[in-house]
Amino acid sequence: MKLTKGEAGPRAEPVAEATVPPAVAGSDIRASDADRDRVAEILREALAEGRLDAEEHAERIDAVYRAKTMGELEPVVRDLPAGGARPEPEPSPREYGAGGQAADQNLVAIFSAANCKGRWRVPPRINAVAIFGSVEIDLTEAVFPQQRVQINVTSVFGSVEVRVPENITLRSSGSGILGSFEVETHEAADGEAPEVDVQGFALLGSVEAKPKRGAWIRDLRDRLRGERREWMDELRAERHARMGELRAERHARFDQLRAERHERREERRDRRRFG
């Protein structure tokens, strides 16, 4: 169709622009409890090394546990050696995945001692060797990036001790050769709980693995110890009192015998004198 001068063609419809939600910046990511605990550990180390005084440490700890995002945690440790890089979010102990796996960890104690405890990331495999030494592996406060952890132990005239929390499944496939290989197997109520498998052998040595009991058991044990101590104190006091009574009775008896003997001696003397 040919348009004459002054006529307008068909009006073009406006095209709606697609809206893309803005990406969340790294500093705006919400901080987890694990992130706050990790930054607090950096501050504790700085206090122990003398990089912070007690007042600065208290102020920064308060800021850490009031922080909502990773961006609020970053300035707290920016001037400390371990906090130069921006803190990265740490997976919670319940988050498992192959991406968080680390290399094997080796703990070797030859005429010495080796231990791993506190809050640490557990690798998928731990190799513990104790030869005339001792190895301690404490998993009660550890973070499990993966669901299954294998611990290979070798104890020759040494000892290996493994502690796990009560909500962990503990299994074993080891043996003792003229030694002790004691693993208290435990099945967690949660089917998705981490699994710890202790394997290996003890040759004239010892391997022990068991769940670490809760605080209520420690409280009960302490209360029983306190009651036993009070009972022993009562028995000791009663025995001391009884010994005092027996000592007094014995002294009284000796005095009576001495008086009777003296009286008989005087009677014999009077008879000889006035015979």
pLDDT tens digits, one per residue of 21-60: 454 455 678 888 778 878 878 887 887 777 887 778 778 8
Query: What is the chain's mean pLDDT, rounded?
Result: 78
Residue 181 clears pLDDT 80, i.e. is over it = yes
Residue 103 or 251, more confident: 251
Q: Which residues contact 43 (CB under 8 A, 6 or more apart)?
A: 52, 57, 60, 61, 64, 76, 77, 80
CA distance 27 to 141: 27
Cβ pair 146, 191 in contact under 8 A: no
Cβ pair 149, 195 in contact under 8 A: yes
Q: What is the pLDDT of residue 20?
A: 44
Residue 88, both tokens: 């990265």
Q: What is the pLDDT of residue 275?
A: 63
Q: What is the pLDDT of residue 132?
A: 92
Residue 182 clears pLDDT 50, i.e. is over it = yes
Residue 215, both tokens: 């605080």
Q: What is the pLDDT of residue 177?
A: 84
Residue 96 clears pLDDT 60, i.e. is over it = no
CA distance 45 to 61: 12
**Of 61-70, 182-191, 220-229, minimum mean pLDDT range:** 220-229
pLDDT more than 90, % of the chain = 9
**Of 1-5, 92-96, 173-177, minimum mean pLDDT range:** 92-96
Q: What is the pLDDT of residue 76?
A: 86
Whether this prediction's pTM lies above 0.85 is answered by no
Tell me the average pLDDT across 200-223: 74
Residue 61 or 95, more confident: 61
Q: What is the pLDDT of residue 161?
A: 92
- Tell me: the pLDDT tens digits for 144-170? 888 899 999 989 999 999 998 888 888
Residue 255 clears pLDDT 50, i.e. is over it = yes
**Of 12-26, 54-68, 248-262, minimum mean pLDDT range:** 12-26
Residue 20 or 245, more confident: 245
| Short-list 123, 166, 118, 154, CA closest to 138 | 118
